[in-house]
Amino acid sequence: MDIKKKDIDALNAVVTVEIKKDDYQSNVEKVLNNYRKTANIPGFRKGHIPMGMVKKQYGQSVLVEEVNKLLQEGLHKFLNEEKLDVLGNPLPKNETAIDWKSDDFTFEFDLGLAPKFDVDVKKKAVTNYKVVADDEMLDNQVKTIRKQYGKLTSQDAVAKGVEITGTFSNDEAGIEKSTTIELDALKGKTQIKALTGAKVGDVVTLKTKGLFADDHDNQKYLGVDHDAAHGLDVEVSFKVEEVNTREMAELNQELFDKLFGKDVVTSEDELKAKIKEDAEQQFMQQSDQKLLNDVVESLIENTKFDLPTQFLERWIQTSSEKPMTDEEAKAEFERSEKGLRYQLIEGKLRAENNLQVTFDELKDYSRQMIKAQMAQFGQMDPSDEELDNIAARIMSNQEEVKRLSEQLNTNKLLQYFKENAKLKTKEVSYDKFIKEAYA
């Protein structure tokens, strides 16, 4: 078997595979001999079928199967030995023109080659948001805690200063959300007037446009997603289920112990410090995700390279489960091009910076996750044997291994960006972060 590669250009090549009779003949004869011993043909005893009859009945299909086996094995070995970085799979050029009655065969395959390029994570600065819990947020959180643990008193009707529990509904917009809301949270005078005086069991119609000062509150109170929340303009019915006033809880040791355990927090200042610490830890997860997304977008935009477009469109067309026209394949390539470019960029970053996840790292990561989860339930010091046993069960579950691998891969990439990308740190409040990051 002889295999040669001819470069068409930097991104396309043709591989020619020549298979001669000597390459496959012994394998074909071996298979046919086995068929002769095991085949059931009326009029002949098993094992005494004439070879001529076996060849006539099975020879062509065995030949095709054995040649294709050699072809696939040889092509795979060639690509590995030549260290060819190909996109998609080799596509046959002359598959329909093969004469299976001849002794020697020549196959041609188109290859789409991965482009050569450099990745510069310092090329363009990306904003790294440091989200802080400001005094206003801390005061509001303390107020929320005091309300949450305060005393409720039932009221006859909606009035200023009450809490209203009820359900927002709009079948067409897919809204069905039970919530508790303060009358003061509403913005429009018309909306407030419509609710004022309503009693338990009443259904009030409200307009969502301008219902709240901030459209993001539509997510919180109406249960719609982020995109739908902006500029939402529909009518919703609100069924009043409870009307209450709330006497705020005292800031005392009994409340602190109820929140955090005995004597963990002993003053309002310590309470605010604890709230600040917990909030900023949660903010970091959001700002990290924003940073990761922004660096990825920057790399795609600023890392320039060509792709073997025609090859990839053809590959998409031939590998599709359903028949696909040229136009459909082109449209699918355009939809997937951005993702493909980032796959190539990420693959290069991981290979050049040793960012692949090892089994030991994955096992270690699973132990840390287990330990953190156990701590939430009061098990602060589990034994190594206990951690290893749980980790072993997790590592035997393919779905869990896949999920943890994806998390760890993301964490390693994020850490690499934090240490190596060109970042400009910007300190903002949470409200400002939301407005800037998701505007």
Rounded to whole angstroms, the Cα distance separating 88 from 65 reads: 23
Range of the domain at 334: 266-437
**pLDDT tens-digit readout, 360-382:** 999 999 999 898 888 878 777 88
Q: What is the pTM for the complete model shown?
A: 0.74
State the maximum Cα–Cα separation within the chain, in Å, rounded to a whole number: 101
Residue 137 within a domain: no
**pLDDT tens-digit readout, 403-417:** 999 999 999 999 999
The mean pLDDT of 83-104, rounded to a whole number, is: 89
**Helical ranges in 46-116 per DSSP H:** 51-81
pLDDT at 353: 95
**Helical ranges in 196-246 per DSSP H:** 217-222, 226-229
pLDDT at 311: 96
Q: Residue 37 pLDDT > 90, yes or no?
A: no
The mean pLDDT of 399-405, rounded to a whole number, is: 92
The mean pLDDT of 4-27, rounded to a whole number, is: 95
The mean pLDDT of 7-21, rounded to a whole number, is: 96
Residue 333 within a domain: yes
Rounded to whole angstroms, the Cα distance separating 433 from 145 reads: 23
pLDDT at 42: 74
The answer to whether residues 242 and 288 belong to one domain is no
Residue 118 within a domain: no
Domain end (from 247, 279, 308): 247
**pLDDT tens-digit readout, 260-282:** 889 999 999 999 999 999 999 99
Residue 136 within a domain: no
Residue 37 within a domain: yes
DSSP annotation string for 362-377: HHHHHHHHHHHHHHHT
The mean pLDDT of 77-100, rounded to a whole number, is: 90
Q: Residue 46 pLDDT > 90, yes or no?
A: no
The mean pLDDT of 296-325, rounded to a whole number, is: 95
pLDDT band at 438; cut points 50, 70, 90: confident
Which bin fits 115, alpha (ψ -120 to 50), beta or left (φ > 0)? beta
Instruction: Give Cα 183 distance to the centre of its chain.
Output: 39
Domain with residue 182: its CATH number is 3.10.50.30
Strands (E), 266-363: none
Residue 100: C-alpha distances to residues 14, 51, 53 (Å) = 22, 20, 19
Q: Among residues 226, 251, 222, 248, which one has the least CA distance to residue 235?
A: 222
Q: Among residues 88, 62, 52, which one has the least CA distance to residue 307?
A: 88
Q: Residue 333 pLDDT > 90, yes or no?
A: yes
Residue 137: C-alpha distances to residues 143, 245, 273, 284, 432 (Å) = 10, 23, 12, 16, 12
Exposure of 127 by Cβ count < 10 A (0-12 exposed, 13-18 middle, 19+ buried)? middle
Q: Residue 204 pLDDT > 90, yes or no?
A: yes
Residue 135 within a domain: no
Domain with residue 414: its CATH number is 1.10.3120
Q: Residue 113 pLDDT > 80, yes or no?
A: yes
**pLDDT tens-digit readout, 124-155:** 999 999 999 999 999 999 999 998 899 999 99
User: How many independent structural domains does the chain possess?
Assistant: 3
DSSP conformational letter for 206: E
Question: Residue 19, Cβ neighbours under 10 Å: how many?
Answer: 21
The answer to whether residues 75 and 156 belong to one domain is no
Side chain identity, residue 45: R
